[in-house]
Copies of this chain bind each other. A is one copy, B any other.
Amino acid sequence: MSSGNDRISAEERLIARYFSPLAKHHGAFGLSDDAAVLAPPMGHDLVLTTDGVVAGVHFFPGDPAADVARKVLRMNLSDLAAKGAQPVGFLMSLAVPAATKKSWMARFAKGLGEDADHYGCALLGGDTDRTGGPLSIVIAAFGAVPRGRIVRRSTAKPGDIIVVTGTIGDAALGVKLRRTKSLAKTWRLTRAMARHLEERYLLPQPRNALAAAVLRYASAAMDVSDGLAGDLAKLCRASAVAAEVDVASVPLSIAARAAIAAKPKLLERVLTGGDDYEIVLALSPARLPALHAASKKAGVPVTEIGRLRKGRGVRFLRNGNTLDFSRTSYSHF
């Protein structure tokens, strides 16, 4: 038949070559259709979230393609973890400058596929377009929670303990280091410390291994992506509670401690900077031992940093003084 009218477009070839192999969920139809189909497991709700990245805003244009892919997927996975949801799948929309090489796309798809497998979150569908601007990627990710059990921001109670996972502030320092290499010297960091901070910015470590414990024990939770101070303030506003945080208890990496020792004003950046992709959660003191046990099992450190009270506002206390930040959270606006 008229083969000239049966040519496969460049976009179809791109999808078939790099992304169809990632579409391992039966509802993705191997990306051969316009849409995917999905039903939550029996007795479960779907949890939906979306997060995107733009080159030059959320990552450096020269960052490894595989890490860019992993970063945007992990940003979404972090939201699912904080809501107590198990990953199911995701849609991805790519806007690609004309100069993007096939080899970049191959490495991007490889990184994406590895994380999709690791976290059990399959590609369900997508959209690929040209852009006259910077490369940008948007993911919408879907998880499952038992019906009615999504962990909200708004359900924390006075008396709850405030807990965070991992360490806070590394990525906010890491992105500064990426921009100004000489800061490593100013901050008196070893090469390993500088690399640790930069890698924490490059590649988030979402806490999905702790999601089941968040679901079971947290009275409220959210992921820390725009800075601990600002995100905790959001949780407190949503729950109509006040918080007191003991700054000395906030878990910091060795590298972040070293930088703050050299430049004490970095403490504010650590507590208000973005890109942590940790979880802040509130829970009844009675549940703390169970959370610690789950944390140990999951290999995700958790640290008590303060307490919720009646009232409103978030106080960061250090040596009996309240810190007052010039800004509480990272916002592009």
Contact = CB atoms under 8 A, between A and B. Distances in A.
Interface residues of A, number: 96
A130 B57 contact: yes
Nearest to A244: B1
B322 A10 contact: no
A238 B223 CA distance: 41
A238 B5 contact: no
Contact of A147 (B39, B128, B312): B39
Contacts of A108: none
B132 A313 contact: no
A244 B143 CA distance: 43
A293 interface: no
Contact of A131 (B54, B128, B238): B54
A93 B51 contact: yes
Contacts of A134: 131-133
Contacts of A1: 242, 311-315
A154 B4 CA distance: 21
A234 interface: yes
A251 to B, nearest CB: 19
B4 A325 contact: yes
Contacts of A230: 9
A126 B50 contact: yes
Interface of A: 1-12, 14, 27, 29, 32-40, 44-54, 56-58, 79-80, 82-83, 85, 91-93, 95, 124-134, 136, 138, 140, 142-143, 145, 147, 150, 152-154, 222-223, 226, 229-230, 233-234, 236-238, 242, 311-316, 322-325, 327-329, 331-333
25 contacts: A1-B312, A1-B314, A5-B233, A5-B315, A7-B328, A9-B226, A11-B332, A29-B154, A33-B222, A34-B83, A34-B223, A35-B47, A35-B85, A35-B143, A36-B47, A37-B47, A39-B45, A50-B140, A52-B95, A54-B131, A57-B129, A57-B132, A127-B138, A128-B333, A136-B136
